[in-house]
Chains A and B, each alone.
Chain A
Amino acid sequence: MSGQGLSEIELQIMWNRLLSVVEEQAQTLVRTAFSTSAREAGDISAGVFDLKGRMVAQAVTGTPGHVNTMARSVGHFLDVFPIETMKDGDVFVTNDPWKGTGHLYDLVIVTPTFKDGRIVALFASTTHLVDMGGVGQTPEGRQIYHEGLFIPLLRLANAGDMNEDLLAMIRANVREPVQVIGDVYALIACNEIGSRRLVSMMREFKLADIEDLSEAIIDRSRRSMAEIIAKLPKGAWTASMRIDGYEAPIDLVATVRIGDEMIHVDFTGTSGMSSFAINCPMCYTEAYTTFGVNCLIAPHVPNNAGTLDAVRVTAPEGTIVNATHPAAVYARSVMGHMLPDVVYGCLDQAMPNRVPAEGTSNLWTLNLIAGHGLTGIGSKAGSAFMVNSFHSGGAGARPAQDGLSATPFPSGVRNVPVEATEAITPLVIWRKELRQDSGGPGRQRGGLGQVMEIASREAAPFGIFARFERVKHPARGRHGGGNGQAGRLSLASGKELPAKGLSVVPPGDRLIVEMPGGGGMGAPAERDPEAVARDVRLGYLSAEAAKRDYGPAGD
């Protein structure tokens, strides 16, 4: 191997510094990006690559959806634009869901870094844009063509000259052109910061290239992952989980094989694609699967080509977790968020008492809207608005801890304050509180969901674009733990609403969103009676449910 030219300490210092470089790159992007998910959820990615297209370092950011999607994406760029053809000042772009990060809303930008006239590295970054045209932020698209502007792998700047034709095309196709173009520049700028910091690091450490350093980091990472995996029990384990789906229930089936140096996760047996936009491209399936595995076996290991290659993910083409063109994929997170749960179903058999029970997993993002064509015709639709407010149900119980209430997993988003939502819309949120009895009973209780009750101050309707899971099929407990309570979407006047697609709340009525609870862990009878009594005292559990679910201990 190369990399022997570096002393142990030099390698360590430079590795540390590279992680700092991509962290600066990422922070530049978080600060400048426009979309709520970028700012509130850190739904961005930033990393540095060697000239072989291998990711050497990636910033730790908020959501796992980009864990290795962006890493793969650089390889696709190099296939079209070989290293030797790249010039200083070039910038490349795509939002291809299959070669980028899973849907048209994510833009990937790649910038080559030059030092003393020679290309030395590539920086890549991704963020979720405010808009990409098409039918908008709804799971109701039927084909990728409905979902907006598709940008193949293209040159965005040629030796410093921006491709104005492409920018004009983007501007003409999106609802918020100023913000979208602003984000394009934010991505370019963050790669520039990364490049500049890398070049000054190379000068400080007197490096002509980073190939030895990259080789050493990736090799060290690969060997360490192999050592970690070698200590795990060997074998193959299969688990399945049925979820609501859109038009029909979906079975997610995974088989985890732990080999001597690698883990292979295969989704054979999983249901086929949906007609709606909950299909998941393979790259995004890889991201959430790898994230789930790594949380368990290597939570402190940084992502790079060496660590990510230790987990191999496959799925038959045409399954909902390896959706093919022209499937609609906008809401691919609905599927992606469920994958760690089914992977944990396998790993729980291999390594009992390590993984959590199933949780809400899917985000209960309230995408609330009003406007012509959506909630009525013309002025009868009410004042037009659109807000995206992230919220979460309960997470699964852990082997020695209750599940987290109203907390996302595997996603890493933050909520939007009620006061902030009310300040920019005519909405009033009358209630936002933990949902009693929603946590699955168990020795460790599942996390509680929450209830929100929403009305408009205007005598006008408003709508919700729903894409909620765990309404028909709740989060299941493990090892005797009970299921979490299923979610529910309804009107205060009584009518139940579908959990996927657009529903309109009539004037004067209220929308009631009851978010699911997480599954329990272990038999409820084994729960510490004091914990049951505390749950009742604090109102997490009603006296009736305590009696029903925990028997004598609940009395």
Chain B
Amino acid sequence: MSTRTRLAVDIGGTFTDLVLSVGDATTSSKLLTTPDAPARAVIEGARAILAEAGVAASSLDLVIHGTTLATNALIERKGARTALITTRGFRDSIEIAYEHRFQQYDLYMDRPAPLVSREWRLEVTERLAADGTVLLPLDESDIAGLVEILRQERIEAVAISFLHAYINPAHEEQARALLAAAMPDLSITISSEVCREIREYERTSTTVANAYVLPLMDRYIAAMRAGLTEMGATCPLLLMMSSGGVCTVETARRFPVRLVESGPAGGVILARRIAAMGGYDRALSFDMGGTTAKITLIDDFTPQQSRHFEVARAYRFAKGSGIPVRIPVIDMVEIGAGGGSIARVDELRRIVVGPDSAGSEPGPAGYGRGGEAATVTDADVILGRVDSRRFAGGKIRLEPRRSHNAIAASVATPLGIGVEEAARGISEIVDENMASAARVHAVENGKDTAERTLIAFGGAAPLHAVRLARKLGITRVVIPRDAGVGSALGFLHAPIAYEVVRTFLVRLDRLEADTIDKLFDGMREEAAAVVRLGAPSGDLVETRTAYMRYRGQGHEIAVPLPASGLDPAALRAAFDQTYGRLFGRIIPKLEVEAVTWTLSLSQPSEQAAQQAAPPAADPPEPGDHWRIVDSGSGETVDALVFERSRLAPGMQLSGPLAIVEAGTTTIIPSDFTARIAADGEIVIEGDAA
């Protein structure tokens, strides 16, 4: 695979990153995103990077693309004019949501408005029971009656979500057929295809989100495909999904909701590859940028997966404040902690950092663009961790004076302490916040953060990674090469994959073994039909999971299933093992039931062979000395400064030191050492705290 010529493109909110890989060589470029016509930046960027590398578009073997367009359409409410058709009596499910206040102490909290306003939420007579039997047949005249409304309101997309359609899709399919016959141009999403899973609010929400972004994504992907063809690239185009896998254009155009958050997923795929190359079987991916930090557990070179995701959280990072979508995702905990996170002092005179961010405009006080807020970046400047002349590759010239004044005004003076001490407090608190989120995330999954390898990328991560590691009981940190375009780099290594879900609620003591085999046969067929579009031949890896619980519980746990021999005893054993790992005990005599089943087919992950250690090499002369405040001890140390570009595999260095590159600085305190591994990664090691 690595001998092929591939192009990866990641459209983010601000930048579009491109990485061209020819054989073992990669080149990358960064362009401003063009929100009005995003495909244009891609095509222009692709032409430029190909020209620079002297590669003809026609010789491309593959283009892999990830985009935030679907996410942005949901956040900015810029999707299609969408209607929702529900079982009579249930049009408000999407508005009533969880009947929940996600901010317990906030009297003035509001829930985000549903994507479909109530006047476009339409009802039809039909009803299935929980076992799929028909209580009321679909009234076809109701559908006919809706057509007029949909036409009048110029509806572009329709979501159909009926109660219990996860067990019996017949009514949804019948309604779709009737609508499609009457309105051939309408794009229709049915819940039993996009999210065949119990729990009506989340299934409906997922269905609506898919319908809402579908016309836009359909046009975009078509434009992208046409643009590539026009420039001579006739190779396949694959789209990055939130699961960390890629899919074909056909699949992406039907289920665009699966493309949300694909950029960050690419970063985790890169971390997975670094873990595999280094042989780090227990890793933690840590991506810290300007506004957020994202943390993912990677065990045995497999990023943790989930089916819970929320888009467009109305209250930054508050669980429950967004639009729930049930799709396969890489399980990431996202924290409002980045370079731009704003520091202040609360009514208990505690330093609070984030989740609000100064963003890039006006940005931290030190940017000198009119921002007044003291941010994490300002603290990093005061602590001597960044070269103010070379920040962001010299594109932004930092003004330390402004950072100093902002921290003095918003933190140091209110607390009656010095500016340097305040800066250390800001840095420590943001690191504590990230550490706390990581630990709680691990606990929720029955895991621990200690003794993992932290793989850190994104502009702000190398500045904070070692300190974060220490708070998590981690003694090894790896900073990959080209971490600034980490997501796009990750795309190059993403497998073609697809996951299918079914709800089939059954008690294990009433289960016949061949029922499950038949269920999985059907799911395998559906998944294969999708994956074989992009991978017509070759082996596929099958992963099966059952979401199971003790009877009486309201939530299920994800239980990985063995490849064969799925009789009830084997299912029970798999459940016991997972439950025991998560909760430290099992409850022997309680009945177990399975609720939801998933099957995913994937190309085998690229075998990134573990790399041998490169021969030792002498380090170059340091470029400079910086005075850096060690945020752990508060002491000022004299750190050697090295240019990353001058460091070669095999070189060993001892802290305190700073390694600088265009996008960021890696800070290594005095009790840590750094070495450069075979692929140019910086591997930082120290003792446990």
Contact = CB atoms under 8 A, between A and B. Distances in A.
A24 B443 contact: yes
Nearest to A204: B689
Contacts of A419: 130, 163-164, 166, 198-200
Taking residues whose C-beta sits less than 8 angstroms from the other chain, chain A's interface range is: 35 or more
A179 B96 contact: no
A457 B129 contact: yes
B201 A299 contact: no
A398 B166 CA distance: 39
Contacts of B172: none
A418 B200 contact: yes
B585 interface: yes
Contacts of B539: none
Given A9-B634, A23-B436, A404-B110, A417 B199 contact: yes
A132 to B, nearest CB: 16
Instruction: Categorize the interface residue count of chain B.
Output: 35 or more
Nearest to B118: A538
Nearest to B584: A189
B553 interface: yes
A238 interface: no
Contacts of B347: 224, 227-228, 298, 300-301
A433 B439 CA distance: 40
Nearest to B110: A401
Interface stretch (A33-41, A73-81, A136-144, A517-525): A33-41
B99 A415 contact: yes
A130 interface: yes
A391 interface: yes
B183 interface: no
Contact of B436 (A20, A182, A355, A432): A20
Contact of A32 (B99, B130, B200, B583): B583
Contact of B348 (A301, A405, A538): A301
B351 interface: yes
Given A221-B348, A417-B201, A420-B554, A405 B425 contact: no
B429 A13 contact: yes
A52 interface: no
Between A23, A398, A432, the greatest number of chain B beta carbons within 10 A of the residue's beta carbon is seen for A432
Nearest to A435: B92
Contact of A178 (B351, B435, B505, B587): B587
Contacts of A415: 96, 98-100
Interface string B413-436: 001110001001100110011011
Given A36-B554, A401-B108, A9 B89 contact: no
Given A220-B348, A301-B347, A434-B95, A13 B100 contact: no
A9 B689 contact: no
Contact of B587 (A182, A301, A409, A417): A182
A422 B130 contact: yes
B621 interface: no
A34 B583 CA distance: 12
Interface in B84-142: 88-93, 95-96, 98-101, 104-111, 117-119, 127, 129-130, 135
A398 B107 contact: yes
B646 interface: no
Interface in A284-326: 291, 294-296, 298-302
Nearest to B123: A433
A431 B198 contact: no
A265 B674 CA distance: 61
Interface in B571-602: 582-585, 587, 589-590
Nearest to A300: B346
B348 A295 contact: no
A28 B445 CA distance: 9
Interface string B156-186: 0000000110100000000000000000000
Interface string A246-285: 0000000000000000000000000000000000000000
Given A301-B348, A420-B199, A178 B436 contact: no
Q: B104, B109, B415, B436: which has the most chain A beta carbons within 10 Å?
A: B104
A512 to B, nearest CB: 12
A209 interface: no
A305 to B, nearest CB: 14
A431 B89 contact: yes
B89 A179 contact: no
Nearest to B89: A431
A153 to B, nearest CB: 26
Nearest to A32: B583
Contacts of B436: 16-17, 19-20, 23
A299 B106 CA distance: 7
Contact of A537 (B119, B429, B473): B119
A398 B108 CA distance: 7
A453 B90 CA distance: 11
B206 to A, nearest CB: 14
A160 interface: no
Contact of B421 (A9, A39, A431): A9
Interface string A1-19: 0000001110011011101
Interface string B346-380: 11111100000000000000000000000000000
Interface string A392-407: 1000001011001111
Given A295-B105, A300-B105, A423 B505 contact: yes
Interface string A51-95: 000000000101010000000000000000000000000000000
Contacts of B111: 404, 407
A130 B425 CA distance: 44
B554 A405 contact: no
Nearest to B131: A423
A432 B104 contact: no
A430 B89 contact: yes
B432 A433 contact: no
A533 to B, nearest CB: 12
A176 interface: yes
B100 A413 contact: yes
Contacts of A185: 585
Contacts of A19: 436
A433 B91 contact: yes
A453 to B, nearest CB: 7
A39 B101 contact: no
A100 interface: no
B440 interface: yes
B444 interface: yes
B54 interface: no
A298 B105 CA distance: 9
A408 interface: yes
A355 B107 CA distance: 8
B130 A423 contact: yes
Contact of A39 (B164, B444, B555): B555
Contact of A28 (B348, B424, B443): B443
Contacts of A204: 689
22 contacts: A8-B425, A9-B425, A9-B428, A20-B435, A20-B440, A27-B440, A31-B444, A32-B583, A189-B585, A200-B473, A299-B105, A299-B107, A300-B105, A356-B107, A404-B111, A407-B100, A412-B101, A415-B100, A416-B554, A418-B200, A423-B505, A433-B92
Interface of B: 88-93, 95-96, 98-101, 104-111, 117-119, 127, 129-130, 135, 163-164, 166, 198-202, 346-351, 415-417, 421, 424-425, 428-429, 432-433, 435-436, 439-440, 443-444, 446, 473, 505, 550, 552-555, 582-585, 587, 589-590, 634, 689
Given A7-B421, A398-B107, 11 more contacts: A23-B436, A31-B583, A182-B585, A295-B106, A298-B347, A299-B106, A404-B111, A408-B101, A434-B92, A538-B119, A539-B118
Interface of A: 7-9, 12-13, 15-17, 19-20, 23-24, 27-28, 31-32, 34, 36, 39-40, 60, 62, 64, 130, 176, 178-179, 182, 185-186, 189, 193, 200, 204, 220-221, 224, 227-228, 291, 294-296, 298-302, 355-356, 390-392, 398, 400-401, 404-409, 412-420, 422-423, 428, 430-434, 450, 453, 457, 537-540
